[in-house]
């Protein structure tokens, strides 16, 4: 029986790509924390990963006159709604961005470990251990 590496590793690789992109977005938010009128951005991890895997969202367009939900495109950058906007119009909340960045980094590291475990398991199967 042949081992399909693409199928065995694809979800982890895609998750790492999305986490990496999100890290860039969150870092950009932090870098622009003092920029007047800067709007904090983020992406929906689940919707982006579902889009990469070819899964459709829960809503389907059945008529040309139907309205589409906002941000339904996979990987689309969304604007973050602040709890309290700064006087200069900046919507970056540093504590929230730092927490989101740390959470994303932790989940990225978990994906790296899961991929490493998966590769070790595949190598054990190939070797017949």
Residue 47: predicted pLDDT: 85
Does pLDDT of 62 surpass 50?
Answer: yes
Is residue 45 domain-resident?
yes
Contact 30, 98 (CB under 8 A): yes
Q: How many domains does the chain have?
A: 1
Is residue 2 domain-resident?
no
Is residue 113 domain-resident?
yes
**What is the residue whose two structure tokens read 């870092």?**
27
**Residue 113's pLDDT band (boundaries 50, 70, 90)?**
very high
CA 58 to chain centre: 19
Residue 72: predicted pLDDT: 47
Is residue 3 domain-resident?
no
Is residue 15 domain-resident?
yes
User: pTM to 2 decimals?
Assistant: 0.76
Residue 59: predicted pLDDT: 58
Is residue 63 domain-resident?
no
Does pLDDT of 1 surpass 50?
Answer: yes
Residue span of the structural domain in which 24 resides: 9-58+69-127
Residue 18: predicted pLDDT: 92
Is residue 38 domain-resident?
yes
Is residue 89 domain-resident?
yes
């Amino acid at each position: 029986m042949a081992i399909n590496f693409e199928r065995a590793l694809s979800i982890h690789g895609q998750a790492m790509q999305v986490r990496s992109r999100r890290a860039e977005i969150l870092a950009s938010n932090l870098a622009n924390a003092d920029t007047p009128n800067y709007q904090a951005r983020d992406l929906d991890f689940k919707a982006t990963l579902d889009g990469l895997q070819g899964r459709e969202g829960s809503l389907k367009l059945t008529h040309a006159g139907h309205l589409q939900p906002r941000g339904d495109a996979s990987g689309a950058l969304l604007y973050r709604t602040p709890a309290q906007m700064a006087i200069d119009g900046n919507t970056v909340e540093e504590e929230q961005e730092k927490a989101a960045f740390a959470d994303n980094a932790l989940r990225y590291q978990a994906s790296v470990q899961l991929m490493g475990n998966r590769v070790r398991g595949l190598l054990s199967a190939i070797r017949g251990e």
